Amino acid sequence: YTFPDVLDVDRYVIDGKPTDAVVAVRELDLNSVESGDTWNNRRTVYTHGYGMVAAYGNQRLPNGEPVFVSGGIPTVGTLPEHEPRIYFGERTDYYVVVGAPEGADPVELDTPSGGENRSESLYTYEGVGGVDVGNFVTRAAFAIRFGDINLMLSDRVNEESRILHNRIPAQRVQEAAPWLTVDSDPYPSVVDGRIVWILDAYTTADTFPNSQRVDWTQSISDSRTAADRLLLGQQVNYVRNSVKAVVDAYDGTVTLYEWDEEDPVLKTWSKVFPGVVTPKDQISPALLEHLRYPQDMFKVQREILGRYHTTNPNTWFQQSDIWQVPNDPVRGSGQTASKEPPYFLTIRWPGDQKAHFSNTTVFVPKDRENLSVYMAVNADATSDEYGRMRVLKLSDAKQIAGPGQTYNFIQTNPMVADRLLPFNRQGASASAIFGNLLTLPLGGGLLYVQPIYTQTTATSGSYPALRFIVVRFGEEIGIGDTLQAALDQVFKGDAGADTGEQANPDTPVPPSGGEPVEVDAQERARTLLNEAETLLETADAALREGDLGAYQDRVKEAEAKIVEAAKALDEG
């Protein structure tokens, strides 16, 4: 199984409160099939992925792992009950043959250990997706189309077989309505008992009068959306998010919902193809909760705003007040640099009493590095203010560091360097990985927040675990095991905000809600001893550098961790 490199952000109501969650579906990775790599296995056994995984966007376990809302095989957690099988996904770029006569033994691998005595669990597809290839003519036609004689020869293809092809959600939407431009960021959600892919779709044109033409590919390309995956050379000067598309992950059903009821282009296409687009009032409340502001259109809008925000003719003519999207400082520099992507975050705008799920971005002046503008759009489709775009223009009198400057400042800060020294030196057993650099409005200013992960280098199959949080406000930097600890460093113990993180990680929030679940004493002790080992490595490095003060501080901290570990074992 595999997960995408870039995960998605969605919202679910958990314990009565809207909660941001990081989500992904578990898809098959045929490249990892090492044994039994036969036609039967590739086309009839490894047919589908399994399960939706969701984790809290603002919580972690003591060892740095996520706190899951839902996950595992079989799926457990607080997400609504749903069909877990993924026959249509972002990695399903190959066809499979499914279905069998009634009473036949199933052959599709469902879960690796879901059967009796943790044996393989097998399954037979029961959906209506795909094309019936039970008759000779249809089977022969597909054999010719795919250049695959095995469709004619294999005994796995029977009178009840169906072939599932064109299984990538964006591809299915594009083929259902080729007159739409599909967003580059599909995301999965659990809606009405099904896992579905939600895609924004646009009506576009390049002949709209008195409108600036832009290159669609260049406008939406950033550090998370590779240009080589996009439609090259498409020029547009008219864009409307007219359609919300939904693709069922089990049977591939494509439903196109009208979203912009006033778009004349959509109205025209709907007359040409009546019945293809479902009226907006047919969107269920459950689906509406998961719709969000379109990502690609927001990228185009921020590019246009960067040039057309000025109202002074002289300034416009001289092009002296252009805003630019800064490069993502974490992922490449120089020739490999690419624009920082927008981020979906729940933020409270200055002066507001309530936080809103938003899509956010920042600007710097052209050819400069300091921060000039913070911009956000209300991305919650259930809100009356959905689509409201707001801009926070920073003072020209005092420059505020931009993302690139802040990233460099964090990396060269002695306090941060001291905490990361065990992971950055040659031969270290684990390496440090910097996460997304986020910008948040706070207390009349802007706060930078960056997670730092560590990953074991000597073990195959290891994955990053959240280790530190770094924050910057003005010229102050803080680093801690939690966001609260980092904020308290910056604001001298008076952050004026409670992040909700637990000071004592013995009782983390469980993924299924309800009462806190005690962490196993041995696991707690193991975590503390690992932290002590890291502190001692830091102390040794400080001693080699001749910094006796730092050496003594780290040793004392390590001793405290060891004492705490021993106490945990005694109490356990």
Q: What is the pLDDT of residue 519?
A: 44
Strand partners of residue 344: 359
Tens-place pLDDT, residues 9-25: 999 998 888 999 999 99
Tens-place pLDDT, residues 422-439: 888 777 778 899 999 999
Least confident of 64-68, 226-230, 442-446, 517-521: 517-521
DSSP states along 214-242: EEHHHHH-BTTB-GGGS-TT-EESEEEEE
512 pLDDT band, cuts 50/70/90, is: very low
Segment 125-146 shows an average pLDDT of 94
Q: What is the pLDDT of residue 515?
A: 35
Contact 170, 182 (CB under 8 A): yes
Question: How far, in Å, CA of 108 to CA of 123, rounded?
Answer: 5
Long-range CB contacts (within 8 A, 24+) of 452-457: 452/420, 452/479, 453/64, 454/64, 454/423, 454/430, 455/430, 455/431, 456/429, 456/430, 457/428, 457/429, 457/430, 457/431
206 pLDDT band, cuts 50/70/90, is: very high
Contact 214, 199 (CB under 8 A): no
**Phi/psi class of residue 324: alpha, beta or left (left: φ > 0; alpha: ψ in -120 to 50)?**
beta
Helix, strand, coil content of the chain in percent (nearest 5):
30, 30, 45
509 pLDDT band, cuts 50/70/90, is: very low
Least confident of 3-17, 249-263, 508-522: 508-522
- 521 versus 184: the higher-pLDDT residue is 184
Tens-place pLDDT, residues 27-77: 998 887 766 678 999 999 999 999 999 999 988 888 888 999 998 888 889
Q: Which of 32-46, 239-253, 482-496, 498-512 has the highest mean pLDDT?
A: 239-253
165 pLDDT band, cuts 50/70/90, is: very high
Contact 468, 442 (CB under 8 A): no
Q: What is the pLDDT of residue 507?
A: 39
Q: Is 249 helix (H, G, I), strand (E, B) or coil?
A: coil
**pLDDT exceeding 70 applies to what percent of the chain?**
89
Segment 528-534 shows an average pLDDT of 73
Question: How far, in Å, CA of 140 to CA of 429, rounded?
Answer: 56
Contact 445, 406 (CB under 8 A): no
Tens-place pLDDT, residues 355-396: 999 999 999 999 999 999 999 999 999 999 999 999 999 988
Nearest to 456 by CA among 392, 534, 511, 567: 534
Question: What residue type is assigned to position 169 of the chain?
Answer: P
- 351 versus 168: the higher-pLDDT residue is 168
Nearest to 111 by CA among 84, 92, 129, 77: 84
Query: Nearest 5°: CA angle at 413, between 480 and 490?
Result: 45
Average pLDDT in the chain: 88
Q: What is the pLDDT of residue 300?
A: 97
Whether the per-residue pLDDT at 518 is higher than 50: the answer is: no
* Beta strands per DSSP E along 231-293: 235-236, 238-248, 254-258, 277-278
Pairing of strands 254-258, 277-278: parallel
Whether the per-residue pLDDT at 332 is higher than 80: the answer is: no
Q: Is 33 helix (H, G, I), strand (E, B) or coil?
A: coil
Tens-place pLDDT, residues 75-89: 889 999 999 999 999
Q: What is the pLDDT of residue 335?
A: 61
Question: How far, in Å, CA of 348 to CA of 441, rounded?
Answer: 7
CA distances from 355 to 22, 440, 469 (A): 18, 12, 22
Contact 505, 521 (CB under 8 A): no
Domain range list for the chain = 169-297, 299-393, 403-490, 521-571
Segment 268-288 shows an average pLDDT of 97
Q: What is the pLDDT of residue 83?
A: 95
Q: What is the pLDDT of residue 324?
A: 96
